[in-house]
Amino acid sequence: MAFWDEQIETLPREELATLQLKRLKNVIARARNSIFYRNRLADIDESQFTKPEDVVQLPFTTKHDLRLNYDFGLLTVPQEEIVRMHSSSGTTGKATVIFHTRRDIANWANLVARCIVMAGAEKRDVFQNIISYGMFTGGLGLHYGAESVGMLVIPSGVGNTKRQIQLMKDFKTTVFHATPSYILYVSEVMEEEGDDPREFDLRIGFVGAEPHSEQTRQKIEDIYDISAFNSYGMSELNGPGVAFECEEKSGMHFWEDQYLLEVVNPHTGEALGPGEEGELVVTTLCREAMPIIRYRTGDLASIVDDGEPCACGRAHVRISRIKGRTDDMLIVRGVNLYPSQIEDVLMSFPEVATNYQLYLERKGTLDELTVKVELYPKMFTGDLRMLRKLENDILKAIQDEIMVRPRVEFHEPGSLPRTEGKAVRVVDLRKEN
Ligand code: DLL
């Protein structure tokens, strides 16, 4: 088993806590160099902190704070010290921007390199980075990490799917990085072109940036005959490289030497324990240009609580898959649900292909949920009885899961809308009425 930074990855938990406390104090002091935190932290005396958990004495930082303090309000260094800017991919409201010093970029590349090596990829691999470059952090984030490891990096970005496939063939790509929805689309194009995705040289895939179920991961692994690893991050916390799966795949290791993690009740802000699902709240422990303290990520997950340290030997906690975002929650006929619950059900049916979308409408006073789902071509043989049975089975399984009876519509593969970046899973037309 390989490590990028064995000493820090396997640091005993007491030593990790000591390191976190020291870094937390430093980061508070540093944050005070920004206009925003100078006021926000005025009453805090961090010299009294005795353990990392004392972080709860600090106020939360929200996306709204970042927006209000656009552009340089959280910057702690003179502008000439910053070498890079990124932006979050939010589609509503003002953008939030994140700045990095040269050391921040090196640190981030190091973290991503940890993830890459943890998943079993190596210098000899050919790495195709099939994800958007630019303000989005997925492209450059993995790019720098992979170069640090010494892989041959093909910065192919997203789109031009036939060219992606050609590059994979010509340069014998062994590792890719993509959103789960786009890499599934790539496999459909391969099949249309008469290529068998299992026949390529691929062996490892990094998938992330959007919620996806365990079944979707398994689908990607089966289709490509690879091992796929879940990757979590967000622009406000650099981007990818925050948490990533090891070969045990029993949760994503959250790099606690760099990020202090809390899980809180999203409504009350109260601390939750291991195994309890809540909102991830994160403090950057090493960032120079723009430290963020107790950031309300909006992402819902839990700390894995299986009572065992991970068999890979890494000491850093593991988090579950991200269930969704606090703002993704749908209320349908008074019932709260997350799109990921429906994905879990859909992807457990082998007849279901790779794409789906949820449509919400209001008929009179009643919400109507339509689950549009693509089936594999073999299902469209004209055997209506078979389709009706499948429809009933899916309906029932969804209803059991979410307590709302949807409509289910079947579509041919490739017929529902696609995006090259993050998939749009929900079309909510109720707001327009
Ligand atoms: O998506 C960073 C990233 C790039 C992560 C590439 C992994 C791979 P943002 O555009 O700021 O940054 O979006 C962050 O995406 O708060 C989550 O809601 C969601 N997200 C990211 N990774 C996952 C994942 C990048 N593995 C937001 N599972 C986050 C579920 C994810 N959701």
pLDDT beyond 70 at 417: yes
Torsional sign, CA 420, 425, 430, 431: negative
Q: CA 199 from chain center: how many Å?
A: 28
Q: How far apart are CA 94 and CA 212, in angstroms?
A: 27
Q: Residues near 346 by Cβ (< 8 Å), separated by ≥ 6?
A: 352, 356, 371, 373, 394, 398
Q: How far apart are CA 329 and CA 322, in angstroms?
A: 13
The answer, yes or no, to whether any atom of ligand 1 lies below 6 A from the CB of 362, is: no
State whether residue 22 is helix, strand or coil: helix
The stretch 350-375 carries a mean pLDDT of 94
- Sheet of strand 252-254: strand arrangement: 152-154, 126-129, 175-178, 204-208, 227-234, 239-245, 252-254, 318-319
List residues bridging with 301 in a β-sheet. Answer: 278
Test site for ligand 1: of 63, 108, 282, 299, most ligand atoms within 8 A of the Cβ = 299
Q: Residues near 289 by Cβ (< 8 Å), separated by ≥ 6?
A: 75, 76, 77, 81, 82, 99, 100, 101, 104
The stretch 179-205 carries a mean pLDDT of 96
- Sheet of strand 259-264: strand arrangement: 259-264, 278-284, 295-301, 324-325
Confidence of residue 122 (pLDDT cuts 50, 70, 90): very high
Q: What pLDDT does residue 87 have?
A: 92
| Across 93-97, 124-128, 236-240, 298-302, least confident range | 93-97
Q: What pLDDT does residue 432 have?
A: 57
How far away, in angstroms, is 232 Cα from ligand 1 center?
Answer: 5
Percent of the chain residues topping a pLDDT of 90: 91
Q: What pLDDT does residue 88 have?
A: 82
User: What are the DSSP calls for 152-175, one per residue?
Assistant: EEE---S--HHHHHHHHHHTT--E
Q: 388-406: per-residue pLDDT in tens?
A: 999 999 999 999 999 999 9
Q: How far apart are CA 242 and CA 397, in angstroms?
A: 34
AA identity, residue 225: D
- The residue whose C-alpha atom lies closest to atom 1 belonging to ligand 1 is 209
- The residue whose C-alpha atom lies closest to atom 25 belonging to ligand 1 is 234
| Across 123-132, 210-219, 293-302, 415-424, least confident range | 415-424
The two structure tokens encoding residue 336: 């709260």
If 0-12 CB within 10 Å is exposed, 13-18 middle and 19+ buried, where does residue 325 land? middle
Length of the chain in terms of residues written: 433
Helices vs. strands in the chain: H and E counts, helices first: 11, 20
List residues bridging with 207 in a β-sheet. Answer: 178, 230
Percent of the chain residues topping a pLDDT of 70: 98
Q: What pLDDT does residue 117 have?
A: 98
The answer, yes or no, to whether any atom of ligand 1 lies below 6 A from the CB of 138, is: yes
The stretch 146-167 carries a mean pLDDT of 97
pLDDT beyond 50 at 372: yes
Q: What pLDDT does residue 327 have?
A: 86
Q: What pLDDT does residue 1 have?
A: 80
The answer, yes or no, to whether any atom of ligand 1 lies below 6 A from the CB of 230, is: yes
pLDDT beyond 50 at 433: no
Test site for ligand 1: of 229, 234, 282, most ligand atoms within 8 A of the Cβ = 234
Q: 265-306: per-residue pLDDT in tens?
A: 999 999 999 999 999 999 999 999 999 999 999 999 999 998
Q: 18-58: per-residue pLDDT in tens?
A: 999 999 999 999 999 999 999 999 999 999 999 999 999 99
- Which element (helix H / strand E) includes 360? strand 352-363
State whether residue 313 is helix, strand or coil: coil
- Which element (helix H / strand E) includes 20? helix 13-31
Q: Pairing relation of β-strands 175-178 and 204-208?
A: parallel
Alpha helical stretches, state H, 171-266: 180-192, 214-224
* 8-state DSSP, 61: B
AA identity, residue 145: G
Torsional sign, CA 137, 142, 148, 153: negative
The answer, yes or no, to whether any atom of ligand 1 lies below 6 A from the CB of 211, is: yes
Q: What pLDDT does residue 94 have?
A: 72
Q: Judge if the upstream peptide bond of residue 71 is cis by omega within 30 degrees of 0.
A: yes
Domains contained in the chain, CATH given: 1-326 (3.40.50.12780), 329-432 (3.30.300.30)
Q: How far apart are CA 41 and CA 93, in angstroms?
A: 26
pTM for the predicted model, two decimal places: 0.95
Q: What pLDDT does residue 425 have?
A: 94
How far away, in angstroms, is 265 Cα from ligand 1 center?
Answer: 20
Q: 86-118: per-residue pLDDT in tens?
A: 998 665 567 889 999 999 999 999 999 999 999
The answer, yes or no, to whether any atom of ligand 1 lies below 6 A from the CB of 208, is: yes
Q: How far apart are CA 116 and CA 278, in angstroms?
A: 27
